[in-house]
Amino acid sequence: MVRRPKVVTGDVFLTADAVATRLAIKELQRAKIDPRPLLAKAGISLLKLDEEPKRVRAESQILFLEIAADALGDSALGLHLAQHFDLRECGILYYVLAASPNLGEAIRNLVRYLAVSNESMPLVISEAAKRTVLAVNYNIPRHTDRLFVEYAFAVLLRAFRELTGRNISPKLVTFIHARNTDKPEFDCFYGGVVRFRATADSIVLPAELLSAPILTSDKYLLQILKNACEEVLGRRSNISSTLRAMVENEIAQLLPHGKAQVEIVASRLGMSSRTLARRLSEEGTSYATILDELRRDLSARYLKDPALSLSQIAWLLGYSMVSSLNHAFHRWTGSSPKAWV
């Protein structure tokens, strides 16, 4: 059987608020599914079910959403979880946005203080004359995530809409991962173009929206909240990512284009192939091992999507022929992709 991605990457211990985990628990309970064994599979332990987790390992939460989605038969669970809960559950970060003077300042505060809520997926903002782009830079392997980033983007857009009182529609929303199902639902929610299998996870907003005032703006409260966030960030150790995670994120973007060669990845990371090999060796791995294990883990995810054909999966994994996928899959699992499904 294909192994799931490890819950912990190296020695990195990145945490996130557990709002998505708590929402998924409630959905499981509604469906009369005991969430405790599913939480255990994701490495999240609860002494009692009513003792809801406040913070969890970021990768554990990502894995739990995947496990919960399988149990519920809901391939768009992240989007669904994001749409109906009280945004105040997001805690101090929500109130920072709500106290900001306008949407532009709210977004800048979001970028600055997101690590208070989630250490694993920092945001980068790019402002131009006609558009503003919010993009995610992962501190963990990007290929392990699908549902959480869909949840996070939907929560952001809900917050933007509610805090400005405007039915904001992005010019474009992009996700790195593939999705062949539920696309109309995403288009309907975002009110614009949503693209999967993109080169980045991003939300593109019209620049004129940045001046939209926040209805609950409070400059005095904002300063208090910003001071509190600065204190939280100051107490935490520096957030870093293992080189393996960085390499996996580059490979995942290059695979469908057949360009996942070590030379290209090393160049994108700003080093030579020899330096990359040496640093990976220091982490106890190699480029070939990472590439092979990443393909194995991605194959497990893609095979769960009935809308993807074997030829499409082969392409997504960087294989020119289905026979290459069959050969690799037999080496990983001892069976063929069709038999495994």
CB atoms within 10 A of CB 122: 17
Beta strands in the chain (DSSP E): 15-17, 55-57, 123-127, 131-136, 172-174, 193-195, 202-206
- 218 class by beta-carbon count within 10 Å (0-12 exposed, 13-18 middle, 19+ buried): middle
Question: How large is the C-alpha radius of gyration of the chain?
Answer: 20
| pLDDT value for 236 | 64
Tokens read off for 40: 């255990």
Query: pLDDT tens for residues 179-231?
Result: 988 999 999 999 989 999 998 999 999 999 999 999 999 999 999 999 999 88
pLDDT tens for 273-294 read: 998 999 888 888 899 999 998 8
pLDDT, tens digit, for every residue of 12-35?
Answer: 468 899 999 999 999 999 999 999
The DSSP 8-state label assigned to residue 317 in this structure reads T
Closest by CA position to 229, among listed 115, 69, 68, 86: 115
The DSSP 8-state label assigned to residue 17 in this structure reads E
Yes or no: say if 60 and 7 are a contact pair by the CB < 8 Å rule: yes
* pLDDT more than 70, % of the chain: 91
Do residues 173 and 190 make contact, with C-beta atoms less than 8 angstroms apart?
yes
What is residue 53's predicted lDDT score, i.e. its pLDDT?
A: 59
C-alpha distances (whole Å) from 88 to each of 72, 97, 148 are 26, 11, 18
pLDDT of residue 186: 97
Q: Is the confidence at residue 49, as pLDDT, over 80?
A: no
Q: Residue 50: what pLDDT?
A: 55
Q: What is the average per-residue pLDDT within 113-130?
A: 91
What domains can be seen in the chain, in order of their start residue? 74-234 (no CATH), 243-340 (1.10.10.60)
| Per-residue pLDDT at 339 exceeds 90 | no
Residue type, 144: T
Per residue in 161-177, pLDDT tens?
Answer: 999 999 999 999 999 99
With 0-12 / 13-18 / 19 or more C-beta atoms within 10 angstroms meaning exposed / middle / buried, residue 331 is exposed
Question: What's the pLDDT tens digit per position in 221-261?
Answer: 999 999 999 888 876 655 556 788 888 888 888 888 888 99
**CB contact at 8 A, 81 and 24:** yes
The Cα-based distances of 248 to 5, 184, 255, 260, 280 in angstroms read 12, 30, 10, 10, 12
pLDDT of the residue at 23:
96
